[in-house]
Every structure is written in structure tokens, then in C-alpha cells.
């Protein structure tokens, strides 16, 4: 992946790499450690992916909530939904567990 501004990427020569006679494709985005990075270092695709995942998980909790007590919903939320936020913060923000609000 070639990283730079839109203008620089458009006006730079096409990058071609060969490794042991295999052409390596040039991509505009890549997923590294579960985080989507694009060639402009924008967070749009990552934010869309996280919102989509969390929306599905919150929707599942909403559908299950009539069958679960509040004491059962809390561990479900902490393990299934909050863990997504914790992972991204620890991996990319150098945060520690003590930096987060406990629920």
C-alpha cells in the first residue's frame, strides 16, 4: 500500500513490486490487527466497520433483553460490546485498562 495524500497518490507513478516472480497487488486499504487503514490514513472505513459491528451487537442485545435480567445483560454487554471499544483503545491509543470507566 502506498500511503500519501490524494493528490500525491494520483500523480505518483504506479508502484509495481515482484517477490519471487509474484506480482504484489497495490491496495488502497488494508486491515492490520483488526483496524482498517487506508492509503490516506483516514478513519472513515474503520469507523464504518466499527459502527456496523456494534449496531449488530446492540441490536442482538435489544432482542435478547426481554429474556434477560439486568444482572444477565450487564456481563453480556461487557464481554460482547464493551470489549470492542477496549480492544481498539488498547491497541491503537496505548491506553491501559485503568483509563476506562468501569460499568
The tens digit of pLDDT for each residue in 6-36 reads 787 777 777 777 888 888 888 888 888 778 8
pTM: 0.61
9's CB contacts (< 8 A; 6+ apart) are 2, 39, 40
**Domain residue spans in the chain?**
1-42, 43-103
Are 29 and 38 in contact by the 8 Å Cβ rule? The answer is yes
pLDDT of the residue at 66: 92
Angle among Cα 98, 99, 101 to the nearest 5 degrees reads 90
Amino acid at each position: 500500500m502506498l500511503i500519501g495524500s490524494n493528490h500525491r497518490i494520483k500523480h505518483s507513478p504506479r508502484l509495481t513490486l515482484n517477490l519471487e516472480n509474484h506480482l504484489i497487488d497495490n491496495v488502497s486499504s488494508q486491515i492490520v490487527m483488526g483496524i482498517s487503514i487506508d492509503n490516506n490514513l483516514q478513519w472513515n472505513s474503520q469507523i464504518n466497520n466499527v459502527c456496523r459491528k456494534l449496531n449488530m451487537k446492540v441490536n442482538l442485545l435489544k432482542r435478547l433483553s426481554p429474556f434477560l435480567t439486568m444482572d444477565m445483560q450487564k456481563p453480556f454487554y461487557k464481554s460482547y460490546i464493551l470489549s470492542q471499544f477496549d480492544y481498539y483503545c488498547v491497541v491503537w491509543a496505548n491506553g491501559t485498562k485503568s483509563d476506562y470507566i468501569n460499568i
